[in-house]
């Protein structure tokens, strides 16, 4: 790579291929439990953070409002999530894990974390830390400099 442009293009391709490969590992793991990766992401956020307004869950897992409604509807049908009203603002609805959802996450999350650890075993601990730092910087810069600027 002789130029900054060539390096940027190569990095974009490598990042996309890496995400696709890692996503396959994550999808395969959660599919064993009858969940999609996005359903698992919602449940994981609620499992680790507790009840959250639907809008906050939506921002954390990067889906559209309509997508969030569909995902939560599916999780409600499966008995893993319930919607709760906000005590102070009737426009706000909370997502909450049901006891069944909490039990499922407690059972499957450790193995999911292990599957991701195995998928990323190609890097040392220090390399993973460096990658997190660099990718966070890159993501922050890209978010603060919208397209077309």
What's the predicted TM-score (pTM) here?
A: 0.86
101: Cα separation from own chain's centroid: 17
Hey, what CATH topology would domain 26-119 get? Answer: Arc Repressor Mutant, subunit A (1.10.10)
Q: Centre a 10 Å sphere on the Cβ of residue 81 and count the other Cβ atoms it contains.
A: 23
pLDDT digits (tens, 9 = 90+) for 81-126: 999 988 888 888 899 999 999 999 999 999 999 999 999 999 999 9
3-class DSSP state of 52:
strand
Q: Whose structure tokens read 């009840």?
A: 51
Q: For the chain, what are the domain ranges?
A: 26-119
């Amino acid at each position: 790579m002789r130029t900054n442009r060539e390096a940027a293009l190569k990095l974009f391709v490598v990042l996309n291929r890496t995400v696709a490969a890692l996503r396959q590992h994550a999808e395969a793991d959660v599919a064993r439990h009858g969940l999609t990766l996005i359903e698992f992401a919602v449940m994981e956020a609620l499992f680790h953070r507790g009840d959250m307004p639907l809008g906050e869950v939506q921002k954390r897992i990067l889906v559209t409002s309509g997508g969030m409604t569909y995902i939560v509807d599916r999780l409600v049908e499966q008995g893993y999530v319930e919607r709760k009203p906000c005590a102070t603002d009737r426009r706000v609805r909370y997502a909450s894990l049901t006891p069944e959802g909490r039990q499922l996450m407690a059972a499957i999350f450790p193995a999911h974390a292990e599957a991701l650890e195995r998928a990323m075993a190609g890097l040392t601990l220090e390399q993973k830390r460096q990658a997190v730092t660099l990718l966070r910087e890159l993501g922050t810069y890209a978010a603060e400099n919208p397209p077309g600027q």
